[in-house]
Amino acid sequence: MGRPFNRPGGPGRSDSPRKTSGSSLTDTRMGNWWDMLLVRGIFVGVCIGASYHFRPFGFGPSVAAAGGLLFSIGVILFEIRLRRASLRQLIGAAVGSILGILGAYLMNLVLAQTSIPEGSRSFLGVGVMLLMTYIGLVLGANKGDMLNLRAFGGLFGNERGSRRTFKVLDTSVIIDGRVADICEACFLDGLLLIPQFVLRELQLVADSADPLKRQRGRRGLEVLQRIQKMSHLEVEIAEDDFPNIADVDMKLIELAKRYDGKIVTNDYNLNKVATLQGIEVLNVNQLANALKPVVLPGEAMRVFVLREGKEYNQGVAYLDDGTMVVVDGARKMINKTVDMMVTSVHQTPAGKMIFGRYDERGEQSPRTETSSRVGEAQHGGERPPRPVFPETQRE
């Protein structure tokens, strides 16, 4: 049963993910829920009435009606369980049960040629049929994922293409906010799944007494509302919870396993743990590092030296995307813009680092002094602005 997303912890829970794209979808989900309840109620009534009327096995009216009620409840529970099974598992279970019944029929033909008494032979025949059907059903369902459905003349060939891909959002990536820009650029498709325990964690952060935490929590809720308004995305709230697991990261992993989805995060530790358990992870930090401008050794760059480095005679600068640049020989050039030559580029888990060398003699050449004087004259003696992207000298 669906509802629009406002704040976590609201009333009306359900066993399946809930749609959050609008009131019309909410009404549709509500109608489906009431339709299923009506159909199941009619089925239970028919079973009870039929058992009460026919009184199988010589039972009394009350016992027969109770038997019909238990039978209908068992069928409904079996139906609910079947709805969670995939098409491959259903086909495997059906084929396995049919083969089991066929095997039981052949074995009953063999038993009919023996001298076993009629009553014992009938009992053995029914027992063999139930055993073979059960074994075929269970084994067929377990091995159903190995079926190649495209071999059925293309009847089920589009199952993989039509299957919705779930993306489970982590708390950290929601608070970070960049996932909304990624979604807006249509780099995320499928269905975005927001767990209820993640919403509770966001609500606790938004209600915190610490102003910084409260601001981060409210920012996360605003990001979710922004994603919800994107028409090309599907957003659902998953009510699934794991009471026996206290850690939110482990809950996210279990939820991704249940829905066969991917985790969207920027948490380094969660990325490693989920990868070790076979879960696909979409790391926003890795995407950001992959989109940074490529800098090769030997290229020239102009940077603004911001502070002193850790080693002797080093200066530290930053590019517009936050990449750290370590410049050898630029300790005396703090708060100045210098030209440097890139010597090496290192990729670390935290991001990319660029190492370069500042040539003091090149800065003191007449050509450089003339250009610097022209720049000072144009900008009134102030430092010229930094370029948006590093200047390169490629042939």
Domains of the chain, first to last: 29-151 (no CATH), 164-290 (3.40.50.1010), 300-378 (2.40.50)
Distances (CA, A) of 350 to 161, 171, 178, 179, 305: 36, 19, 17, 18, 21
pLDDT tens across the length of the chain (395 residues): 333 444 334 434 344 444 444 433 344 444 467 888 888 899 999 989 988 888 888 888 888 889 889 998 988 888 887 777 777 788 888 898 999 999 999 998 998 888 888 888 888 888 889 899 889 888 888 877 666 554 454 444 444 444 568 899 999 999 988 899 898 888 887 789 899 999 999 999 999 899 888 999 999 999 999 998 888 888 888 888 888 888 888 999 988 988 888 999 988 889 999 999 888 999 988 888 777 777 888 888 889 999 888 888 889 998 877 788 999 988 888 898 998 999 988 877 667 788 999 876 655 444 444 444 434 444 444 444 444 444 444 33
Give the pLDDT score at 148.
55
Give the pLDDT score at 16.
45
How far apart are the two ends of the chain, measured CA to CA in Å?
Answer: 63
Residue 74 and residue 253: Cα distance in Å, rounded? 32
b/e string for 53-92 if b means 16 or more Cβ within 10 A?
Answer: eeeeeebeeeebbebbbeebeeebeeeeeeeeeeebbebb
Query: What sign has the CA pseudo-torsion 324, 330, 331, 333?
Result: negative
Give the pLDDT score at 163.
55
- Residues contacting residue 328 through CB under 8 Å, at least 6 positions apart: 311, 313, 314, 343, 355, 356, 357, 358
Instruction: Determine the 3-state secondary structure of 193 from DSSP.
Output: strand
How much is the pTM?
0.47
- Residues contacting residue 160 through CB under 8 Å, at least 6 positions apart: none
- Residues contacting residue 256 through CB under 8 Å, at least 6 positions apart: 166, 168, 262, 263, 274, 279
Give the pLDDT score at 99.
92
Residue listed under structure tokens 């809930």 = 18
Pair 223, 170: CB distance under 8 Å: no
Of 296, 291, 271, 273, which is closest to residue 281 (Cα–Cα)? 271
